[in-house]
Structure 1
Amino acid sequence: MSLRVNTRLVVLSLSSLLAAVTGLPAQSETPPKRPATTRVRISDQGRMQALVREGEKLLKSGATTPYAKLQEGLQRTGCTVALAKPSTKDLSGPELFKRSRQSVVVISSLYYCTRCTKLHATTAGGVVVGTSGEVLTNEHVIRGRADRKNETIVAMTADGTVIPVREVLASSKKDDVAVIRLDMSNARSLPPLPLGTNPPPGSDIRVMSHPNKHFYHLSSGIISRYFPETGPGGETEVMSITADYGRGSSGCPVLDRKGNIVGLVSRTSSLYYRQTKEKQENLQMVFKLCVAASSIRTLTEKSEPSVVKALPAIKLTGLPKTRGSVEEPLFLNSNDDLDKLIQDKKLSQTYSKHVDWEKQVVLVFRWSGSGQDQLETRTKGEDPVTVQFVYRRGRTRDLRPHLKLFVVERGVQWIVESGPVARPKSPKPVGTATEASAFKAVEKVLQVRRRGTLVFARPTTAGVDQLETFLKTYPKSSHREEALYLRGLSLWMLKRYDHAAAAYRVLLDAFPKGKHTRMARIREAGALLFSDQPQPALDRLDELMTDYPDRPEMFGRERAHALVLLGRQKEAREFMDHVES
């Protein structure tokens, strides 16, 4: 009886429970949505596995460029890349991470080792700078290790897409920079980051890098200093920063607060309290050394090499010890000739990499003379081309040895001209006595005086009017460059700055490489500044800073003034501290 009662109780309890469950509202059947997360999760191990897996597929399908073929591009010393316009808007940390992550790639050399049959992958970095798949990275990343047989080089994007490297456009071992092009035929286009200029020391920067396969790691710091460094290839400018990065970060970008590329990660240098060949004790500092933006621009804005180019300077014994003009050059036709001249096997091999002996020869000029002596090159004609080496004697009386090496295309004619020869100028039409006297009359009215390349004047409104008449009467005058410069100078001195800026622009457009170009560029920027146009003035001054990174004192006050007028006082103070240092 008891058992029956208990059974009934259990059945009634279960029935009640089922009824209660059935009566629950329908919304409980669908779990609530979790709030969207803003975190970016990156699986490092998964990326490495995908890099090797997808890279091997491309390699076996024949879609990659052989490593030996890519290495041929290391001989090219310049290329032209359509760069994005520099950004002017400050970005927050998350905004900078999001923007740069889309443009930063992993550069990987794929190789088979001698201990197994698996494909392996190295990791480094690169950053997209062109709309056609052009990527900046380090020269040593592309060159690779001599003891490893690489098969090809690929790039992996932030979304995990693996893309073959089609070619190496140019490289500079001296600056440790290379420009490569990705094969974008089967890939989505990548947004380029703009290339900036050298910020002054103390400026905030960030680094997006891949330290030891920890992909897309963003660190922050400041630029601590710039310094020159001389190696086998010549002198380069090095930027030292405080932002963290580690191995595997070579070729990754150093960015300013606006997202502009201001450098490339290159290497580190450790400072120990005690250091001998056997051991290192008490690590004190690790210097983070990067390629400066000014060094990058020498590669990306350079045209293909011409029929003649200068080799980096070297020191040799046996140079002439008596004053005299340039001697007849030595003619080097092979590696053996270069070995006999340099007598340093390692240095000779380094220089041989700059020369294609099948297509080129080397001319060696050796002489002693003034420290201001110059040996210039120019070409004339088109088919055939003739190379002229022009020796310009300096004015000082010191006696110094000089050595210049030039690579010249085979089959090109060349001549040497000694003596104080004037610099090459644009072809001039034949002037007339009337034209010459008219220009002389203008100079007299303006009270023009010259000292070297410097020009002084005491302009008047009447003198400017007479100068304008001369320019209209003789539009193809052989004195046109001087007349245009005098017009800009006169308007500047009369404080008609808006007209002076336009006058200097006409001069620069007509004679972009004239003898007054640098001064005209500075005065144009100043004239824009004084006519209440600070932003165009700053744009001109930034271009000057790019072209003359080591001479900020030439335009420092004008640039600081422009920054102040634009409300960027802090940046102006930092820049002037850099100039004064």
Structure 2
Amino acid sequence: MKYWCKFLCIGLYLVVFASVICQAQRKEKEVVYRDYTHMEADLLDSLKQDDVKMLFKGVQALRQQAQQVKENSPVCLEPRPAEKKKLRSQDMIEKRRGSVLTVNKYHRAMRHPEGVKGWATAVVLSEDGICVSNYHVFWEFLDPTAKLNPQDSIMFVATEEGRVYPITEILSFNKSADMSFFKIDTRGDVLTPMPLGNDLPAGTSVHLLSHPEGYPYAYTNGVVMRTITSDAKDPFARRMELTVDYAKGSSGGPIMDDCGNMVSMVSSICTIFYSNQPPYNQQMNVKLTIPVSSFRRLIQNKDK
């Protein structure tokens, strides 16, 4: 009888334990609904904090610094190595969203009230704040013929939680590859860099987490449709064309493989029309991205 009581107690304990585990698993899988409608207003409030104001340099100062940067300058960092374990899409989003930043502009009050405008996407490459985005995101600072918008006051990045980081300097760029490396002031935070993978052939599945205008942290996926070059002699002219969906604001967003490694970066869109005269009848959008091999050409490992 004693043995039966023991077995019964053990059985009841296992049932209770299994129930607790199941409840914990169900809780982990609960869908989180985020309110992004106040993101830009919250960022504006963050910029007005006294301990934050003093960290930022204006667009004129950033432009003066950027004008001193030479194209293809080496960027000293130790990239996060590629991971080999495949991730479910939902796990990839959670693991990589901390490495994906919004690029924003603060507009001073002129003809319109002051405000913050989401501009593009950037990816964290090092714990101390080296990031990458597109050349065209920073072209106003890098092109000596460009004119700054008089309403623009500062340019900065932010996390999904609203933590703002000043852009302190442009480190390097390549116009042909439409990429630009820059440094941010992490304000003492240790950031989570995105692991870098390798270029992918046509037919390979890919994933994107970016910020189409008005839709921050949107996930889409697709496949590599072609790998092309516009100049066989220029390795920076290579592109990976994708079926992944994105729009303005996604510029600089990370294209990832099934393991969540960054394999390319959003650059531009080429639209195919049935006719070059009205009615145009849009038929297809081809998405052009910058392969990760272009990044690696400018990255110089710290230990070298």
Q: 1:45 and 2:37 equivalent? A: yes
**1-side partners of 2:148 and 2:185: how far apart?**
27
The alpha-carbon deviation at position 59 of structure 1 amounts to: 10
Q: 1:47 to 1:117 in 2, by over 3 A?
A: closer
Q: Which residue of 1 aligns with 2:220?
A: 219
**2-side partners of 1:302 and 1:190: how far apart?**
18
Q: Which residue of 1 aligns with 2:197?
A: 196
Q: Which residue of 2 aligns with 1:288?
A: 287
C-alpha offsets along residues 443-482 of structure 1, whole Å, 9 cap, x if unaligned?
xxxxxxxxxxxxxxxxxxxxxxxxxxxxxxxxxxxxxxxx
**1-side partners of 2:213 and 2:90: how far apart?**
23
The total of aligned residue pairs comes to 265
* Aligned partner of 1:106 among 79, 102, 106: 102
**1-side partners of 2:256 and 2:197: how far apart?**
9
C-alpha offsets along residues 74-130 of structure 1, whole Å, 9 cap, x if unaligned?
633221221111111111111101111111010112223642241342321011111
Tell me if structure 2 keeps the 8 A contact 1:111–1:148: no
Q: Which TM-score applies when normalising by structure 2? A: 0.80
* Aligned partner of 2:155 among 153, 158, 175: 153
Q: Which residue of 2 aligns with 1:255?
A: 256
Q: Which residue of 2 aligns with 1:61?
A: 53
Residues 246-325 of structure 1: pairs in structure 2 closer than 5 A? 246-276=247-277, 279=278, 281-301=280-300
Q: Could you tell me which amino acid in structure 2 is paired with residue 50 of structure 1?
A: D
Residues 65-464 of structure 1: pairs in structure 2 closer than 5 A? 65-71=57-63, 72-73=65-66, 75-76=69-70, 77-78=72-73, 79-112=75-108, 114-144=110-140, 146=147, 148-149=149-150, 150-186=152-188, 188-230=189-231, 236-276=237-277, 279=278, 281-301=280-300
Q: Could you tell me which amino acid in structure 2 is paired with residue 269 of structure 1?
A: C
Tell me if structure 2 keeps the 8 A contact 1:272–1:280: no
**2-side partners of 1:136 and 1:174: how far apart?**
15
Deviates further, 109-118 or 237-246: 109-118
Tell me if structure 1 keeps the 8 A contact 2:41–2:116: no
Q: Give the secondary-structure state (helix, strand or coil) at the position aligned to 2:166.
A: strand
Q: Which runs of 5+ in 1 are unaligned?
A: 1-34, 304-581
**2-side partners of 1:200 and 1:234: how far apart?**
16
The alpha-carbon deviation at position 161 of structure 1 amounts to: 0.8
Q: Could you tell me which amino acid in structure 2 is paired with residue 177 of structure 1?
A: M
Q: Could you tell me which amino acid in structure 2 is paired with residue 128 of structure 1?
A: V
The alpha-carbon deviation at position 180 of structure 1 amounts to: 1.2
Q: 1:164 to 1:142 in 2, by over 3 A?
A: same
Tell me if structure 1 keeps the 8 A contact 2:118–2:213: no
The alpha-carbon deviation at position 39 of structure 1 amounts to: 1.8
Deviates further, 248-257 or 40-49: 40-49
Q: 1:166 to 1:221 in 2, by over 3 A?
A: same
Q: Which is higher, the Rg of structure 1 or of structure 2? A: 1
Q: Which residue of 1 aligns with 2:20?
A: none
- Relative CO higher for 1 or 2, CA cutoff 8 Å, sep ≥ 6? 2
Q: Which residue of 1 aligns with 2:12?
A: none
**1-side partners of 2:45 and 2:138: how far apart?**
21
Tell me if structure 1 keeps the 8 A contact 2:228–2:238: yes
The alpha-carbon deviation at position 58 of structure 1 amounts to: 6.7
Q: Which residue of 2 aligns with 1:315?
A: none
C-alpha offsets along residues 159-214 of structure 1, whole Å, 9 cap, x if unaligned?
2211111211111111111111110124x322111111101111110000111121
Higher fraction of helix: 1
Tell me if structure 1 keeps the 8 A contact 2:236–2:294: no
Q: Could you tell me which amino acid in structure 1 is paired with residue 108 of structure 2?
A: Y
C-alpha offsets along residues 379-438 of structure 1, whole Å, 9 cap, x if unaligned?
xxxxxxxxxxxxxxxxxxxxxxxxxxxxxxxxxxxxxxxxxxxxxxxxxxxxxxxxxxxx
**2-side partners of 1:165 and 1:180: how far apart?**
7
Q: Give the secondary-structure state (helix, strand or coil) at the position aligned to 2:155.
A: strand
Q: Which runs of 5+ in 2 are unaligned?
A: 1-25, 141-145
Q: Could you tell me which amino acid in structure 2 is paired with residue 299 of structure 1?
A: L
**2-side partners of 1:161 and 1:177: how far apart?**
24
Q: 1:151 to 1:202 in 2, by over 3 A?
A: same
Q: Give the secondary-structure state (helix, strand or coil) at the position aligned to 2:55.
A: coil
**2-side partners of 1:294 and 1:226: how far apart?**
13
Higher fraction of strand: 2
Q: Give the secondary-structure state (helix, strand or coil) at the position aligned to 2:181.
A: strand
Q: 1:59 to 1:210 in 2, by over 3 A?
A: farther
Q: Give the secondary-structure state (helix, strand or coil) at the position aligned to 1:281.
A: coil
Q: Could you tell me which amino acid in structure 1 is paired with residue 104 of structure 2?
A: S
**2-side partners of 1:58 and 1:68: how far apart?**
21
Tell me if structure 2 keeps the 8 A contact 1:108–1:121: yes
